[in-house]
Structure 1
Amino acid sequence: MSWPKRLSKLHYIDFYILIPYLILCIIGILMVYSSSSYQLLDSDLGTASKAIKQTMYFLFSLVCMSVAYRINLSVLRNSKMMYCLLTFTFLSIVALPFIGTSVGGAKRWINLGVLLFQPSELVPLVLVLYLALNLAKNDTLVPFTLKNHKRSLLVSMFFMFFVALQPNIAGASMIFILVSVMFLFSGLSPLFTSIALVGFVVLKRLGTVLLLSIPTDWMPQKFGYLVTRFEVMQNPFIDPTGKGFQTSNAYYAMHNGGFFGLGLGNSIQKKGFLPAADTDFIFAICIEELGLIVALGILFAVFFIVARLFLLAIKSKHLYYSYLYIGCGMLLFLQVAVNVGSLLGYIPMTGLTFPFISYGGSSLLILSITLGIALNARGTEQRETFKKQGGLV
């Protein structure tokens, strides 16, 4: 059997991940144009201005994804580089009160001129890289004990605490679940993890009851939004023109769409009824215009990427790559679950965007880099296998 003398790393791209990603991004640009055009027209701005910006964000994210794919993964496995990433992420979060930009009443963004960067969106990716490095030292499984993973636990709790202080309780909860899954994958007892998750659900329910039944004057003002969001989660129609305005109009949008939708550009709720129609609630506009069937197809594309990453994690012969796959897959899964869950009223509104569809450069950039790293791990693993079989790279 003859082997080619040299194959570019591009030869090993996993199209099962790349193609759904490209499809979702293109749909995202179309939906950003549709969901934002009416408000832009009403403000005497170009109806395509946000869609053009989203296209630029996509192209820039594609370049960053390419860089993440081509970088040598040994750079990310370097302890000094990892501590630099952790330090940069921490300083970005700490600097928010001083240099942050307030959007929607929350000061979680740093204005970089070309885009608004949200440091809390970088935290899960950095923690995935950090935990993968620590949980797979020398590609051998490190049994889960407090002694072995004390530092990893402390770093994770540290970032979780500072994200919650922003305040960003949804982001902190997402980090908690992500870290729990990473540790479970490292050999943590399923019984212990089940007890922790049940405890988390019970605390959430207990917190809901307490927030809605006792006076909250003692609560710091910046955390006051929690009470409102839990009230809305219980029944958004109790105050459809006030506290429940966003969620109730999202329900109307999904009801209007039915199975086949009103047609692209024909949304009613985007015409001043549904705030943040191009960001947090863009999936509701997708259902209204494209219908439930197409919306389920969008969800299928996202979950197909997640399932592919989980499959690669199971099949991988390298422990470090397995942790990268499972971490990147969980990060994407949690963001979709939280966005759709808050849209349907199963959890309080969170402000998390729908991956690859919502308007904004920060989320798209981070998630593109996340998939770039996963593709890198796959490509590197394929090249190593090819080399062992007698090929030259």
Structure 2
Amino acid sequence: MNQPKRLSKLHYLDFYILTPYFILCIIGILMVYSSSSYHLLDSNLGTASKAIKQTTYFLFSLICMAFVYRINLNVFRKPSIISLLLVLTFLTLVTLPLIGTSVGGAKRWINLGVLLFQPSELVPLILILYVAAHLAKNDRLVPFSFKNHQRSLLICCFFMLLVALQPNIAGASMIFILVSVLFLSSGLSPLFMSLSLLGFVVIKRLGTVLLLSIPTDWMPEKFSYLVTRFEVMQNPFIDPTGKGFQTSNAYYAMHNGGFWGRGLGNSIQKKGYLPAADTDFIFAICIEELGLIFSLGILFLVFFIAARLFLLAIKSKNLYYSYLYIGCGTLICLQVAVNVGSLLGYIPMTGLTFPFISYGGSSLLILSTTLGIALNARGSEIREWDRQRGENV
């Protein structure tokens, strides 16, 4: 019997991931235009200039996603390739003090002309590739132990420390949680997982109490912002015209929106009251203009992508792909949770953007590449199943 014709890899695209991604990016372009137009007009600049840039970033991200989708993922399982990517990332981070660009008082960006690139955003993706390749190197589930994973743990801790010293404590915390989830998924007892979670909560609470109660004169100047952010987290209205200016105005924006919103373009807080309205606090503008109901729909689309990735991880028969799905899904969940959590005052302000919605090419490029890797894994997996079925016919 003739074997069925093998289809192109494009026929195996997972539209449960791709469709929400397109919708979110289109909403993002509209919200970037709306949230930035007043400030641009006040600065005698084109009101659509940032929206046009965001559209350009989106198109470039699509090209990168398509490129990542077409390559063979097994390339990233080779230790030499992963080591090279880690070294390149390290070198990029090291050069920041020399060629870095300061934004908002932090020197974490490199000006590439067409966009400001933040190398620390690349670290989680590289570590996902590295840890997934390490955990699946024998194509079997190896229970976690410090002896088995000593080298990979040291590498992850090194990059975590490197990001924290920028300073970028939020980014380092995200890397810690991301790597922890990947290692936990390799096979740990429920007791160990429960104790780890309890320990993390206790350490966070004790850290907050100590940071706010002991003198902080010994703290280096570039880390002094942590005390202010923890104070604002405890009470956003402690100084509404000073320390709590951003968070309190974000609260006002969400209150103004109510359930149904003031209408697209009708935000009050973007008119000089809420800083970074098109980046860190764009979700507050979404609630103000589009309302709580529509904004919950945006959250649903993001978490739908993450839930789809976790479902694929559970169903996958390829251990390496399963770890990739878990890592990509966790990264998206963390970025949403940190952005919205800081917006609501549950965690200190972090300066982390909302996935696919906030203005900026660096974040959109990295997240699009992340989804490209997940789509590649899914397409490769289905194609392999079809090949096996064809051989069995």
- Range into which the TM-score falls when normalised by the shorter chain: over 0.9
- Contiguous gaps of at least 5 residues in structure 1: none
- Contiguous gaps of at least 5 residues in structure 2: none
After superposition, the C-alpha distances for 1:38-85 in whole angstroms (9 at most, x for unaligned) are: 000000000000000000000000000001100111111111110011
Aligned to 2:335: 335
CA distance in 2 between counterparts of 1:350 and 1:121 reads: 13
Is 1:144 the counterpart of 2:168? The answer is no
72-81 vs 60-69, which moves further: 72-81
* Secondary structure at the counterpart of residue 147 of structure 2: helix
Pairing 1:1-393 to 2, within 5 Å after superposition: 4-390=4-390
After superposition, the C-alpha distances for 1:135-156 in whole angstroms (9 at most, x for unaligned) are: 0013211221111111111111
RMSD, aligned CA:
1.2
CA distance in 2 between counterparts of 1:184 and 1:175 reads: 14
Identify if the C-alpha distance between structure 1 residues 390 and 114 changes in structure 2 by more than 3 Å, giving closer, same or farther. same
After superposition, the C-alpha distances for 1:13-46 in whole angstroms (9 at most, x for unaligned) are: 0000000000000000000000000000000000
Q: Once superposed, which parts of structure 1, at least 4 consecutive aligned residues long, lie more than 6 Å away?
A: none
CA distance in 1 between counterparts of 2:316 and 2:135 reads: 15
CA distance in 1 between counterparts of 2:391 and 2:6 reads: 8
CA distance in 1 between counterparts of 2:200 and 2:2 reads: 56
Number of residues of Structure 1 aligned to a counterpart in Structure 2:
392
86-95 vs 196-205, which moves further: 196-205
* Secondary structure at the counterpart of residue 321 of structure 2: helix
Q: Would you say the 8 A contact 2:4–2:390 is kept in 1?
A: no
* Secondary structure at the counterpart of residue 333 of structure 1: helix
CA distance in 2 between counterparts of 1:391 and 1:125 reads: 35
CA distance in 2 between counterparts of 1:66 and 1:280 reads: 28
346-355 vs 206-215, which moves further: 206-215
User: Per-residue deviation at 1:188?
Assistant: 2.3
Q: Would you say the 8 A contact 2:6–2:387 is kept in 1?
A: no
Q: Would you say the 8 A contact 1:259–1:292 is kept in 2?
A: yes
User: Per-residue deviation at 1:192?
Assistant: 2.0
CA distance in 2 between counterparts of 1:325 and 1:40 reads: 39
User: Per-residue deviation at 1:193?
Assistant: 2.7
CA distance in 2 between counterparts of 1:287 and 1:144 reads: 42
CA distance in 1 between counterparts of 2:195 and 2:20 reads: 35
After superposition, the C-alpha distances for 1:83-125 in whole angstroms (9 at most, x for unaligned) are: 0110011111111111110000000101111111111101111
Q: Would you say the 8 A contact 2:65–2:369 is kept in 1?
A: yes
* Secondary structure at the counterpart of residue 228 of structure 1: helix
CA distance in 2 between counterparts of 1:196 and 1:360 reads: 35
User: Per-residue deviation at 1:2?
Assistant: 7.3
CA distance in 1 between counterparts of 2:3 and 2:58 reads: 37
293-302 vs 70-79, which moves further: 70-79
* Secondary structure at the counterpart of residue 139 of structure 1: coil
193-202 vs 252-261, which moves further: 193-202
CA distance in 1 between counterparts of 2:97 and 2:366 reads: 22
Taking structure 1 as the reference length, the TM-score comes to 0.98
Q: Would you say the 8 A contact 1:180–1:193 is kept in 2?
A: no
- Counterpart AA for 2:225: Y
Identify if the C-alpha distance between structure 1 residues 3 and 36 changes in structure 2 by more than 3 Å, giving closer, same or farther. farther
- Counterpart AA for 1:264: L
CA distance in 2 between counterparts of 1:194 and 1:242 reads: 40
Taking structure 2 as the reference length, the TM-score comes to 0.98
CA distance in 1 between counterparts of 2:93 and 2:191 reads: 34
CA distance in 2 between counterparts of 1:74 and 1:211 reads: 45
User: Per-residue deviation at 1:342?
Assistant: 0.2
- Counterpart AA for 2:286: C
* Secondary structure at the counterpart of residue 272 of structure 2: coil
Q: Would you say the 8 A contact 1:4–1:391 is kept in 2?
A: no
Q: Would you say the 8 A contact 1:184–1:190 is kept in 2?
A: no
